[in-house]
Structures are given as C-alpha cells and as structure tokens.
Structure 1
Amino acid sequence: MKPSPGKSPGTRPEDEAEGKHPQREKWASKLDFVLSVAGGFVEDWLRDIRLSHTRLSSNPAAPIAPRQPLPGNRACAGIGYASIVIVSLLNIYYIVILAWGLYYLFQCFQPELPWAKCNQPWNTDRCIEDTYRKNKSFWVAANASNFTSPVTEFWEHNVLGITNGIEDIGPVKWDLALCLLLVWVICFFCIWKGVKSTGKVVYITATFPFVMLIVLLIRGVTLPGASKGIVFYLYPDLERLKDPEVWIDAGTQIFFSYAICLGAMTSLGSYNKYKYNCYR
C-alpha cells in the first residue's frame, strides 16, 4: 500500500522541501532503536515508584503508526484511533507524576531536606520526627494512629495541598504548575525533530535509570537490616494469593506495562527499515 501524497507526520522534511514523495524517517542506528525500546522496559520496572519519563521522550509518533493497523479490515478500523485516545489521556495525567519528581529534585538542593523535620509551616501538631518514632517506649505509650511523619505531611500538605473535601479545590499550586510546564518543554525539545532528536535523547533517558537502579541496589543492600528486607521479598505471604484484589491489581499492572493497544512499540518499530531483523 503506497503512502498518501502530501506531508505526513514522521516524514523527512527535506523530501518536502525538494518536492519529492515523502519518505518515512528512519533511526540513525540500531542502537537508537534498541535504547528506545529498552527505555520502555525501564519504565515498567520503575512504574511502582512512579519515576520514569522515557516513553514521553521517546514516543513522538504514537498516534501515527497505529492509525491504520489493518487497512483492509473495516471491523478493526477503530483500533488505531482508540490507541490515539488512550495514549493522549495517559500522557496528560502521567506527566503530572513527572512534575512531582522534578519538584522533589529541586527540593533536594537545600541544606536541610524539608521533609526531615517537623519545623516547617505546613506541619501540624500531629507530626512526629523519626527520632521519636524510633523510641519504642514513647511509641508504645502513644497511640501511633494519632501521629504522622514529616514525609507524609510534606507530601499531603506541601506538595499536593490536600483540602478538606472535593468541594474545596483550593488555590493553584504555582510551584507544581511551573514544574509541569518545564516537563512539557523538555518533552517538546526531546521530540521536536522526530527520531533524529529522540534517538539521541534515549542515550541518557534509557541508560541513566539503569545506573541509578544499580546505585540504589548497592546502597540498599549495605544498609542495616537489609537482609531482613531481602528475606521479606523472597518469602512473600502466599495467603494473599487467595485475595481477588491481588490478581486484579496484578492483571492491571501487566496490561499497562506491556502497553497493550497503546501502539508505543508499533510506533517505535515503524521507524526501522522494512526488512529490519527484529529477532537479532
């Protein structure tokens, strides 16, 4: 099936400038494509802690490739458009999580972390610092349910600004709004030249999470009590498998992680050569 004439997203601008029939852009190298796909797997690993941005920066053409997945089958004509809607809605709300991560990054560059103690303006009388929480005699005498940690109050009162109810939406969090704007700007510059810019961005976005995972792993296994955490991880509570909610959550996570019907991997693969050896 020949491509339709005229300009199409994902085509080479030099073809249009020279009056040639538009051709699909290609990855500059196989490594660009491999790292772009690897970035998707990194995101799946980090999804539980909500720290990833690879798909937003390496998926510039998600609506393009799946638009006509089966052009000869009218019954499947809506699959591509449904993928566009799903990816659009997903990116709109998921990028907010990236704004939270960026906000936390900025907050880290302070002499004292704002979530370390209970001396901040947003802290309440129920805030208890870790030094008191580690005091077993104090913790036993007090009712633990009546106290919160400075980390929790930083998240709920400072970052989110949670109000008393849905009827009170509260003011605009301009610090988060600026972080959200900055994330959108970063994403724009990551994809504004198509696979030419995206293929270079993934060298950072796909490898940096691996480095950080290794650093966190080394740091985690060297902390006191790390062996107890490893044992807790390797020997789960099998009785929880009887809970249907566990299977529902696991199924939801699997469908979301594999990006079923999102068209992300289809879009990334569409920039390869037609006879690209994907098995190798």
Structure 2
Amino acid sequence: MAQLLACFRRRGGATASAPDEAAEDQQQAAPGPVLVELFSSQGCATSPEADAVAARLAQDSTGEGAVVVLGFHVDYWDYRGWKDPFASSAWTVRQKAYVEALRLDTLFTPQVVVQGRAHCVGTEQDALAQAVRDAPRYPAPAMKVTFQRPNPTTLQASFTGSLRSRVEGPGGASVLVALYENGLVTDCGRGENKGKSLLNDHVVRRLEKVAAVREGASARKTVSGTVQFPLWDGFRATRCGLALFVQNAALQVLGVQHFDLPDNV
C-alpha cells in the first residue's frame, strides 16, 4: 500500500528535514500535497464512513496526487448521548470559520474542507477526489524540525526554513502545525454509533502557531519558531505525525509539509 507523502517524510534521530539544498532548486516548482480536513464526530452516524474514506485517500495518495489528512472532532454532537473523547470546542470554532469563509449556511458532519477553498460531504468519495484534483497545489515548505522533551509531558518542536510559496491575499498568513494520532479505537457505548468499535486515524490532538508571515512575503522567506505540545496519557510517537501548513487570512492553504515523529522522542 502506498506510503503517504513518502517523498516528504524523514525518519531516524531526533531531527526531520526538508530535501537537501542540492536538490532544492529542482524541486522548487514541484507541487506539494493538498491539505484535507475532515470535521467529524463519534456521535454522528455517518462519520465512521467518512473516516474510512479519508483514511483510504491518505493511504493511496502519492506523488502529484499526495494529500495530508487531518481529522478534527467537533463537540456539538456530545449532547446526543455520547461524548467524543477527541472532540474539542476549538475544532468547532475552526469549522465555523470555514462556514463563514466559504459562505455556507450551516455546520454539518461529516464535512471535508480541501486546501481551505472547497468543501463536500465527507462520505462522498467521488466529490472528494474531484475537489483534491481541482485544488491548487503549492510547493511544500522547506522546513527542518528538531524535537526535544523538556519534561515527560511536553514535546517541543523547533522549526526553521523557507516557505517556498509567496504569501497571497491580504492580511498575511500563519504557519501552523498539527500533531495528530493514528490507530485510535473506541468502543462506543451510547449515541448513534452505540455498540460499534470505531477506528479513527489522523486525529488532531494539538494545533499550534509556529509563526506569522506578512502579506506578500516571498517564496524565499525564511521563518522560524518553536511550539510546545502538551502530551496525553498513552502518547506514542510511532502512532503520531506532524502536518505543517501555511494558511492566509482567508483560510486558504498555501503549502503543506508532513513529518513523522522520530522513534526516540
């Protein structure tokens, strides 16, 4: 089965890096992956199907068709009898921001947002595939990351490198990084998925801002920043990854880079 974004992953040691400088000029114009954000809930009957669609998309993506999937579990289903253990009000706020930016009428699950520019129902596999094909692709940022554990409950990640895409649109952009976890299995005891064993991948556990970038910043702009992720009980680096992306004030994504976590963090 194809490995997601194999050309962007780096493993081993405590540092993950972008392609070496000798190849950077050649790869400067190469299209990077597309960011696919799934807003779902364990309390929603159709979200498990959308989770499976997104997981297949991530597994099968490679080369010019590569995607990075992030799963944001929203909390507005929690009152229906089952409290999603991965839900956050912050992810509901993020989805609401997309509703406004995309001029939609309402929130719903499961919803997929592609590159911050288009959306569809998360179970509609053909519509999702078309949205990914239609999405503009930008070179992946050329960032290096160094990991540290300042204490047992914190993961620190320090980034430095170039954007490799000009910052488009008024208001500048933010460089964000999501820490996500795969292979989460939950036995659902109540709600619309009562009695089911739910498998969730690409579940965003933390989202932090690395840096702010001014409007019109060039593709050669070098940025740096350090973030700290509070860790949860049962954290295992081998099940987790990082997705770093540049997002402008209109919530359009201007480049995505993926990192595995080294085994020794």
- The TM-score, its normalising length taken from structure 2, stands at 0.21
State the structure with bigger RCO (CA 8 A, min sep 6), 1 or 2. 1
Structure (1/2) with the larger helix percentage: 1
Computing the radius of gyration over CA atoms, which structure comes out larger, 1 or 2? 1
